[in-house]
Amino acid sequence: MHLRHALAPLALALLLGCGSSTPKPAEGAERESSDSPPPASEHSEEVAPPAPAVGAVKREAAATDLPDDYSLTENDCQALGRQYTDAARSDQRAGIGAKVTAKQREQAEASIDGVVVKMGTVWADACMKRLAGNHVEHKKIKCALAAKTVKSFDVCLNGEKK
Q: Among 1-15, 22-36, 71-85, 117-131, whose mean pLDDT is lowest?
A: 1-15
Mean pLDDT, to the nearest integer, of 45-70?
A: 57
What does the pLDDT look like over 97-142, one tens digit per residue?
Answer: 888 898 998 999 999 999 999 999 999 999 999 988 888 888 999 9
DSSP state of 40: P
Residues in the chain: 162
The set of residues, in sequence order, having a beta carbon less than 8 Å from that of 4 and lying 6+ positions away, is 46
- Per-residue model confidence (pLDDT) at position 13: 40
**At CA 114, angle to CA 110 and CA 118, rounded to 5?**
160
